[in-house]
Amino acid sequence: MAIDLGRVAAIDFHTHAEEPCGTHGDDGYDDFQAGMSAYFRSPFPHPPTIPETAAYYRERNIAAVIFAVDAERETGFRRYDNEEMAELAAANSDILIPFASIDPAKGRAGAREARRLIEHYGIRGFKFHPTMQGFYPNDRSAYVLYEAIAEAGLPALFHTGQTGVGAGMHGGMGMRLKYSNPIYLDDVAADFPDMPIILAHPSFPWQEEALAVATHKPNVYIDLSGWSPKYFPPILVRYANSLLRDRMLFGSDWPAILPDRWLADFDRLDIKPDVRPLILKENARRLLGM
């Protein structure tokens, strides 16, 4: 069943698919999730499953882009199988839009996987987390994977800025913030000008770098997930209301931040009335070709 765009009130461009804690045999995943829950003050006793996520968003008439993060090499956590995630999203296709995640270190094998997921599993885009995956986005070794995404005309979404992953944990769980400076995506946007690139989150402490890249490269968007809108820096709000009004996207960062909270705080943000529907739904609809 296709998403009824006339019915949905918004498109959340940033939601996470999580497996329940206790299913990872390696692992350390449970400790990681406990750290994340403490950092974001999560109301959930366990990470919501994909069907639970779909039910939550369906009740609110909000469509959601959903993805996991393949960070096996850097973290040791078993990744959420892209095929399984895509099948669960397909079973809830009235509300969920599946993105895949592949560690760029997988090289040509990752590019083959990307093409197979696009052709056979209806994947609509790809998620990268440079800090969790331990790579600079402009590392040429990642380009073979970007080429597979670009040839399909699909978007690539990159975490930018500081992260709650590992925050407050011993040594930050080994996570290195340097990889997620959005300036490295300027190279990617120049080298892949026909591939839509989404900079996820207000990019603290590199907000102006993110705005510079997005205003200079017309294939670059910004999703506003990961922060309550009441904490958005004034310069971000100013660009959302003006130069980047057509390339700002609503995103919550579910389940770390609930869309109910994000939308309530967004209602109180000084956003122009004609810009609100662009951010909440229309920019995402156009970007996704819906």
Question: Using CA atoms, how far apart are residues 92 and 1, in angstroms rounded to an integer?
Answer: 8
Interior angle at CA 187, CA 186 and CA 189, nearest 5 = 65
Query: 194 exposed, middle or buried (CB, 10 Å; 0-12, 13-18, 19+)?
Result: exposed
Tell me the pTM.
Answer: 0.90
As a whole number, the mean pLDDT across the chain is 90
Helix, coil or strand: residue 57? helix
Would you place residue 30 in the very low, low, confident or very high pLDDT band (cuts 50, 70, 90)?
low
CA terminus-to-terminus distance, the chain: 14
pLDDT tens-digit map of 159-186: 998 766 655 667 766 667 899 999 999 9
Domains of the chain listed by start with CATH number: 10-287 (3.20.20.140)
Query: With the CA atoms of 178, 182, 183 and 185 taken in that order, what torsion angle do they form, in degrees rounded to the nearest 10?
Result: 110
The more confident residue out of 21 and 29 is 29
Question: How far, rounded to the nearest angstrom, does the alpha carbon of residue 250 sit from its chain's CA centroid?
Answer: 11
C-alpha distances in angstroms, 165 versus 134, 162, 172, 176, 248? 13, 9, 8, 10, 24
**One-letter-per-residue 3-state SS of 163-196:** CCCCCCCHHHHHCCHHHHCCCHHHHHHHHCCCCC
Query: With the CA atoms of 215, 220, 224 and 226 taken in that order, what torsion angle do they form, in degrees rounded to the nearest 10?
Result: -120
CB 36 within 8 A of CB 165: yes
Would you place residue 71 in the very low, low, confident or very high pLDDT band (cuts 50, 70, 90)?
confident
For the segment 48-64, the average pLDDT, to the nearest whole number, is 95
